[in-house]
Amino acid sequence: MARNLTLAAAQLGPIQKAEGRDVVVGRLVRLMETARKRGAEVVVFPELALTTFFPRWYEEDIAKAEHWFETAMPSNETAPLFEAARKYGIGFHLGYAEIAHEADEAGQVRKRRFNTAIYVHPTGEVVLKYRKVHLPGHAEFDPRRKVQHLEKRYFEVGNLGFPVVRAPIGQAGPVNIGMMICNDRRWPEAWRVMGLQQVELVMLGYNTPSINQDAKGFEAHHLRVLHSHLSIQAGCYQNACFGAGVAKAGVEDGCELFGHSIIVNPQGEIMAQATSWDDELIVADCNLDQCTLGRTSIFNFAAHRRPEAYGRIVEQVGSVAPPEWQPAARAAE
């Protein structure tokens, strides 16, 4: 019997700076109601789905940004979402800013901030937590930028790796699920680390501006969506998994986010795409048995990978200049 999963991606329109969590959670619950009507078994919400994308706002005193963070999950404000999941029997993926009091690398317990995502079982239990590894942007106020991108200021690098877990979702039975967040999707390393754990479904949320402020004429604006889709489609194809890439979209705090959420199959094909800049639910029937073909043929890792040639991937962080070619005539001088 085919392992079918009815998967929903719940794109969000903008969440303005002044919008309260109660309003946002109401929108999430309505999207979950729609998901139920469409027969979905799991709903994927975006990155930082409870607030505006606050890393665009600079605070000299980071403590003043803490009202954007969650200290408990669920909380009074997010409880209705967990209730809706229970009521409808739908699992969900949620991105949010997390404050945790836990030990750091030096073993010292302290307040830590992460860009986090969780997958929640319909019972309300957190099945899997992920903290964003590839933080883009910068840590200090950048006067050259019209809009700041302060993820490196507000968040620590995620310390949970790229975990995959096998958990029951809907009628499909156990599914190997993994998560990444926004900029992670552009890094094939993240996809591969999960592929090496036989991931079947990657859930990922993003908040990506329509304008690349670094581009300065070297990148046509319309390529932003191509780059996002290219990364997700290649990641799914090369790791034989499904992917749900789910955006916050539209004009938020005056900054345009490009949306275009997609669900992708292990062939790299787009199965469903959001085309509004508003709250929008897209659904696809995912036959998880489709993950088998790639994993057992072209991307049979055990048969074809050659880690002895991949050393630089872990031995280097940045790139290094290659050697100069020495023509025989010059070399002989």
CA 273 to chain centre: 16
Helix (H, G, I), strand (E, B) or coil at 291: helix
Helix (H, G, I), strand (E, B) or coil at 118: strand
Helix (H, G, I), strand (E, B) or coil at 120: strand
For 112, the enclosing helix (H) or strand (E) is strand 109-120
CA 240 to chain centre: 18
297 binds a second copy (CB under 8 A): yes
Nearer to a second copy, 67 or 330 (CB): 330
Kindly report the CA angle at 132 between 129 and 134, in degrees rounded to 5?
Answer: 155
The residue type found at 149 is: H
Helix (H, G, I), strand (E, B) or coil at 28: helix
Q: Quick one: which of 52, 69, 73 has its CA closest to 155?
A: 69
Residues 256-285, interacting with a second copy (CB under 8 A): 267-269
Six-digit token pair at 315?
A: 């031995």
Sequence-separated (6 or more) residues with CB below 8 Å from residue 143:
none
132 is catalytic: yes
The residue type found at 326 is: Q
- Among 4, 34, 75, 238, the residue binding a second copy under the rule CB under 8 A is 238
Among the candidate windows 50-58, 70-78, 140-148, 288-296, which touches a second copy by CB under 8 A?
288-296
Residues 175-234, interacting with a second copy (CB under 8 A): 176, 183, 186-193, 195-199, 212, 214-216, 218-220, 223, 226-227, 230-231, 233-234
Residues 145-174, interacting with a second copy (CB under 8 A): 157-158, 161-168, 174
34 binds a second copy (CB under 8 A): no
Nearer to a second copy, 34 or 197 (CB): 197
Cα–Cα distance for residue pair 181/101, rounded to 1 Å: 22
Kindly report the CA angle at 46 between 41 and 47, in degrees rounded to 5?
Answer: 135
295 binds a second copy (CB under 8 A): yes
Selecting among 98, 132, 151, 291, the annotated active-site residue is 132
299 binds a second copy (CB under 8 A): yes
Size of site (CB under 8 A) for a second copy: 89
Say if CB 92 and CB 281 are below 8 A apart: no
Nearer to a second copy, 75 or 290 (CB): 290
Nearer to a second copy, 60 or 105 (CB): 105
- Among 31, 44, 135, 262, the residue binding a second copy under the rule CB under 8 A is 135
17 is catalytic: no
- Among 67, 107, 325, 332, the residue binding a second copy under the rule CB under 8 A is 325
Among the candidate windows 14-22, 33-41, 121-129, 140-148, which touches a second copy by CB under 8 A?
121-129
Nearer to a second copy, 12 or 199 (CB): 199
Active-site positions read 47, 132, 182
